[in-house]
Chain A
C-alpha cells in the first residue's frame, strides 16, 4: 500500500468517524430527560401560546427524523442553529468565546508541556534521587487534585484574602480602553486560572516524559554515546531527548486537539468567558444546538489531530503504512 492510499484510507476513516459522531451528537441530547422549553416554562410560568411558540421557534414541533435531517444538512454547511438561550447563531456564540479559551487553555497547555518536560527530563536523568521522587509526587498530586477544589482554594486565598488577583472574569469591569492596559488586565485576570490548570496538567507531561526518557536512556546507543566520552548534557539533550520526544509528540498533538473543549470546570470557577463555560451553561439549560455545535467542532478537531498524527507517523515510519 502506497502513501497515497494510506492517506485516502485514513481520511475516509476520519469522515466516517465524524458522521457517526454527528449522529450520536443528535441522539444523545434527545435521549436526555427533560426538554428546554420546560426549563424556561418553569422559570417564568409561560402561557400555552408562549410554549407553542417556543416549540416552533426551536424546531421541536417537527418530527424527530425531520429534525435529524435538518441538523445534518445545516451542520455540514457550518450552521449549527440558534442557541435556545442566547437566541444568537451558535457559530457567533462560539467565535466570541474562542479567543478567550485559546488564550487560557493554550497558554496553560504550553506552560504545562514545557514545565512537565523539563521536570520529566530532570527526574529521568536523576532517577531515584530526591529530585525524581519530589517531581513524581508533585506530578501525581497535581494530577489528582480536583480542579474545581483547587480553583476555589486559589480564589479564596489569592482573591478574597490577599486580594492579589481578581476573582472573576476575563477583564475588569469596565474593561480598560487602552490596548496595553487591556492586555495587562487580561493577563492579570488569567493568572489564577492558568496557574490552576498548570498545576493540574504538568504532572501528566512530566510522568510521560520521564518514562520515555528512562526507556531511551537504557538503549545501547546511549551507552555508546557515553562510551565515546560525550558529556552527560549532550547525551541527555542531543541523543536521548530527540528519541524520547516521539510519544510526547502524540500527546501534545492530542492536547491541542482538545484545546477547544476549554477547561470546563476552571472556566466555570473563575467565570472565564470561554467555551468550557459555554458547554457548562448549555448543559444546565439544555441548550441542544449549542451542545451539538460545540461538540461537533471539538470532535472535528480531535479527529483532525488524530488524522494528522496518523499521517505524520505514516510518513515517518514506513512500517505503519505497510500494515
Chain B
C-alpha cells in the first residue's frame, strides 16, 4: 500500500467520485411530477406582474391591449367587451362548466319554511330551463344536486329527488298542509287563520341573473297566492341579513366549492356555524350522511355519504339548486399550457402561473395578471383567506402534497411520499399516524434548507395560534414530531379519509426560522420585514400599493426543468462581441487536460444555434470564447459544459446563462466623412462664387 502510484490513484478516484457526486447533486437535474395534465415542471416565466386596476372595464381594456394576459374575474356577460380580441385572435378562452352553483336558500328556522312540504311546494314553482334560457342567455346548465358539475366526477349523486315545474301541484301541496287560498287569493296561515306573512326574498343587485331568478320566483309565488316581499339590494345590505343575522326567508344564493367535497358538511351540517349553514338547516339523518362524507375513513365510505347526503338534501329542500354558469376564462393567445380550474377563477391560478409558458419564448417571458384589488395582507397566517392574498400565497408557498387539477388525486410535492397508519390516541379511540417523507433538495427563498422541523413547526404553530383559516384542518392534530431530518409525522385523533388533505394539502409550509419569533401571527405583516419567504416557484419581489405586486421565478424550485435558465446571469452583448469563459480543473495536484469545454448557444425554442469548443492549457485551465459575430440579434440561452473521462463515468460541470445579442449599431463614420466633405466643398464653392461675383 505504500506504492505512491496506488496512493495517487486512490486519491484521484476519491476526488473524482466527489466531483461526480457534486455534479449529480446539482439542483438543475429535476424530475417532473406526473399529473393528469402531463408532467409538471416549471416555472417558465421569469416574473409575474400582478397589475392593479381600479375598474373591471379598464382591466378588460388591458386584456385587449396586451397589458394583461389573464384576469382575476371575468363574467360571461363581458364576452361582447372582448369580442375584438377574439375576432383578431389575440385572445383565447378556456371554457368549462362552473364548479359551483346558484340557487335559492331557505331560512329553515323561519315558519312556514320550517315545513318540508312548504319548501317542496316552492320547488315546484321553479322553471329551471327557462332560467338558463332567459336569465343566463343560455350560458349555463340546469343542475339538480349540489356537486353536479362534471369536474366533480363520481362525487355527484346519481339519485336524487326532482321537482317538476308545476304550479298547480304546488298549490295542491299547499292546500294539503292547510295553507288554503283566502278570498283575496292569498294563502291563509293555518296556525293563525289569517293571511300568511309575506316571505322576504333577498336578491343581490350586482348579478342580473340573481335578480331574474328572484323575480321569476316572486311571480310564481304570486300566482299560487304566497305573499312575498322582494328586496333587490346590494351585497352590503344582503350580506349582514343573510350571513350574520340569518334574517331572511329566501335568498338567491351561490357558491363555488373546491375539489374536496367535504365542504358540503360546512354548508348543511347542523353544528356548522350559522355564517356557513345560513340555511339554519338541522336534520339528524342528513347530519349522519354528512358525517360519513366528512369523517368516513375510506374513499368508498365518503362517496356513499356524499351520495346519500345529496339525495336527502334534494328531498328535504333546504336549498333549491338551479343552475351552474358556463365558465369562460379569457387569456392572451401568446400563452400555452394554461390550466383551467373552474373552482379557482378559470385559468388564473397557480398551475397556470407555474406551468404555462409563452408560445414563442420558452423561458424568461413575463406573465401579466390583472387584479381589481390590492392584496389585503399577504401572509400565509392572515386570518382571512382574501382572494388576492391567496393568489400570491399560492405561488410563494408550497404544501406537502398537491391535488391534481383534474382528478384531485394527491401528487407528491414537498413530500416525496407518505404513509398512513392506524394510531390510538392516548385517551383511546381511533386515530391516524401520517408520515411524510420530504424532498431533500428544497430550500427556502432565503437559502436555508427546508426540513421536517419546519413541517412540525408549521402544524403546531398554526394550531397553537388558533389560526382561523387552518384550525378546522388541524383540530384533530394531537401531536407532531420529526423522524430524522426529512421525515415529519402527524398524529391525528380522526380517521377521516380527508385527513391527509387537511394536514398535507391545505396547510402551506412556513419557515420556522422566521415565524418562531412571531407572537401574533395573524397581525404580522411579513412583507414589511422582507419575510414573505416560502419554498414556492416564485419569490416575492416588490409591492407598490395601488399599482402592482411583482414576484420573480425561484431558480431553485424543486420542479424546475433541467434546461431552465431562469434566475441565471444574463449577458447582453452587441453583435460581434466576444465573451470568454474559463475554468480550471485539477484533481488534487494534478491538472486535468483531457476534458472538453464547450459553450452551446440555443434559441428560445430549444434549437442549437452554435457550439464553441474551448482549449485547455497545461495547468488545467480551459477557455472557451463565445463569439456573437454570426449570431443574429435575439434572446438565447448558453450552456457552458465541461466533461472529462477521468473515471469510468467521467466528471463534469454545467453552467447556464441567458444571452441577449443586440444589433450592432450601423457605422456612420463614412457618412459623417462624406458629409464633412460635402459641407467643405459647398463652403469652398460659396466662397469662390462670392469672390467671382460681380461687385463682390
Contacts and interface: CB of A to CB of B under 8 A. Distances in A.
B497 interface: no
Contacts of B57: 152, 269
B15 interface: no
Interface stretch (B211-219, B545-553, B641-649): B545-553
Nearest to A281: B54
Interface string A35-70: 101111111111111110100000000000000000
Interface string A242-279: 00000000000000000000000001111111000100
B547 A33 contact: no
B377 interface: yes
A237 to B, nearest CB: 42
Interface string B352-385: 0000000000000000100000101100000111
A227 to B, nearest CB: 55
A267 B546 CA distance: 11
B389 to A, nearest CB: 10
Given A48-B273, A51-B244, A39 B547 contact: no
Give chain B's interface residue range (CB within 8 Å of chain A).
35 or more
Nearest to A152: B57
A174 B550 contact: yes
A160 B239 contact: no
Contacts of A48: 273-275
Interface stretch (A4-12, A20-28, A128-136, A162-170): A162-170
A112 interface: no
Contact of A85 (B54, B237, B376): B376
A181 to B, nearest CB: 16
B273 A39 contact: no
Contact of B547 (A40, A86, A169): A169
How would you classify the secondary structure of chain B's contact residues: helix, strand, loop or mixed?
Answer: mixed
A155 interface: yes
A156 B61 CA distance: 7
Contacts of A166: 67
Contacts of B368: 173
Contact of B550 (A173, A271, A277): A173
Contacts of B54: 168, 267-272, 277, 280-281
Given A50-B384, A51-B244, A87-B376, A42 B235 contact: yes
A39 B239 contact: yes
A38 B273 CA distance: 15
Interface string B493-520: 0000000000000000000000000000
Interface residues of A, number: 51
Contacts of B53: 168, 271
A110 B471 CA distance: 56
Contacts of B243: 38, 41-42, 45
B424 interface: no
B352 to A, nearest CB: 19
A152 B67 CA distance: 16
B236 A173 contact: no
A271 B55 contact: yes
Contacts of A286: 236
A168 B239 contact: no
A96 interface: yes
A34 interface: yes
Contacts of B234: 34
A206 to B, nearest CB: 30
B412 interface: no
Interface in B59-107: 61-62, 64-65, 67
A86 B544 CA distance: 13
B61 A159 contact: yes
Interface string B261-274: 00000100000011
Contacts of A163: 65
Nearest to A53: B383
A163 B64 CA distance: 11
Contacts of A152: 57, 61
Nearest to A83: B376
Contact of B239 (A42, A47, A49, A280): A42
B548 A174 contact: yes
B571 interface: no
Contacts of A169: 51-52, 547-548
A174 B542 contact: yes
Given A34-B237, A50-B468, A175 B377 contact: no
Nearest to B549: A173
Contacts of A42: 235, 238-239, 242-243
A268 B376 CA distance: 19
B274 A277 contact: no
Contact of A47 (B273, B377, B542): B273
B233 interface: yes
Given A42-B239, A43-B387, A50-B383, A160 B273 contact: no
Contact of A273 (B273, B545, B550): B545
Given A39-B236, A45-B275, A160 B65 contact: yes
A97 interface: yes
Given A43-B387, A50-B384, A273-B547, A34 B65 contact: no
B546 A277 contact: yes
B55 A44 contact: no
A109 interface: no
B275 A97 contact: no
Which of A155, A166, A167 gathers the greatest number of chain B CB atoms within 10 Å?
A: A167
A41 B275 contact: yes
A38 B236 contact: yes
Given A44-B386, A85-B376, A270-B58, A96 B273 contact: no
Contact of B386 (A43, A51, A97, A280): A43
A44 to B, nearest CB: 5
Contacts of A160: 61, 64-65
A94 B234 CA distance: 27
Contacts of B244: 35, 37-38, 41, 51
B307 to A, nearest CB: 24
A168 B374 contact: no
Contact of B276 (A32, A39, A45, A159): A45
Contacts of B560: none
Nearest to A280: B54
Interface of B: 49, 51-55, 57-58, 61-62, 64-65, 67, 233-240, 242-244, 266, 273-276, 368, 374, 376-377, 383-387, 468, 471, 542, 544-548, 550
19 contacts: A33-B233, A34-B237, A35-B236, A41-B243, A44-B386, A46-B384, A47-B275, A49-B468, A51-B275, A53-B383, A53-B468, A85-B376, A96-B546, A159-B65, A167-B62, A169-B547, A171-B544, A174-B544, A271-B58
Given A45-B266, A166-B67, 9 more contacts: A39-B239, A41-B244, A48-B275, A97-B546, A159-B65, A160-B61, A167-B58, A169-B547, A277-B54
Which 3 A-B pairs have CB atoms at the shortest separation, nearest pair first? A34-B236, A273-B546, A38-B240
